[in-house]
A and B are shown apart, each in its own frame.
Chain A
Amino acid sequence: MSLGPHAAFIITAYAAAAFIIGALIAWVVLDHRAQRRKLANLDARGVTRRSDRATPASS
């Protein structure tokens, strides 16, 4: 498959798309891990929501 005389522009466009979409996915995944870690730390220190504390008693 030939991309013709403007191949550099086409490849750069697809590389930019891969970078931006990759960055978005990384942002969502890493942010999720960070929030879960913070919640786990708070939980380990006994700081939990009332609804979370009620769950084991009711189940």
Chain B
Amino acid sequence: MKTRNHRLHAETRSSKKLPMAVTELANPSRFLAVVQPILPWLAAAAALMLAFGISQAFAAPDDYQQGATVKMMFLHVPSAWLGMFCWALMSVAALGTLVWRHPLADVAGKAAAPIGAAFTLLCLITGVLWGRPMWGTYWVWDARLTSVLILFLLYLGVIALWRTVEDPSRAARAAAILTLVGAVNLPIIKFSVDWWNTLHQPASVFRLAGPAIHLAILTPLILMAIAFMLLFVALHLGAMRNEILRRRVRTLQLMQAERAAE
């Protein structure tokens, strides 16, 4: 009985501690104190994983139909996954902005937008370069390609909103609304190859019947996806840290201007 009470007490304590830890991390100063020491390690892990992933990608055998052009898949697919993942993350941050009005949610959304745009652009560029030898054309207005292009334009829209609206809290609300509206595009991208007749191939990794790719090619693909994810996390945390510092600079400059006006 004593042991059970002790365990219950320990569980209650840990369940109380978890939200406390989250709240503490959501404090910008605490966030900086936690992120600063882990960032170099995260960057090093991303660099090592990227080097290993690329070496495995170039060691992978050619595809029996696509030949060596399959090597472009090791860039194209992870960047497509990240482009979509980043918008999903921004959508969660947008909820944090609109529902809880948390400043760190604004920071997370703003910092993620250029990174998501860059990976979506990389997905489009590698897709265009892969399409020419495989399909005989750089571009076709099919549902998958068009919906990813729309995702890229939405990213540019969010970045433009942050840059044009001067007041950060107003910019955050406008960007959050656009982000949540744009989230409708995510299932369209994912299921476009099933809903419409597209030149783009259907899903070959995340399928109910399991991956349709041979392990010799799937393994470097997964390694590259892990490397890109590590890189994304390192870049995002770094960009969030910069945004917090930028807001501190803005606050201090406003304080200085007020003092000068007195």
Contact = CB atoms under 8 A, between A and B. Distances in A.
Contacts of A47: 252-253, 255-256, 259
Given A45-B256, A48-B252, A32 B126 contact: no
B110 interface: no
A21 B129 CA distance: 18
Interface residues of B, number: 39
Contacts, number: 99
A48 to B, nearest CB: 7
B132 A9 contact: yes
A28 B235 contact: yes
The prevalent SS among residues of B at the interface is helix
Contacts of A51: 29
Interface string A7-50: 10110111011001101110111011001101100100101110
A13 B125 contact: yes
Given A1-B58, A13-B71, 4 more contacts: A4-B68, A12-B129, A28-B242, A47-B255
Q: Which 9 pairs across A and B sit closest by C-beta, in order of nearness?
A: A35-B245, A28-B238, A4-B68, A6-B133, A31-B242, A38-B249, A9-B129, A3-B68, A13-B126
Interface of B: 29, 58, 62, 67-69, 71-72, 75-76, 79, 114-115, 118-119, 121-122, 125-126, 129-130, 132-133, 231, 235, 238-239, 241-242, 245-246, 248-249, 251-253, 255-256, 259
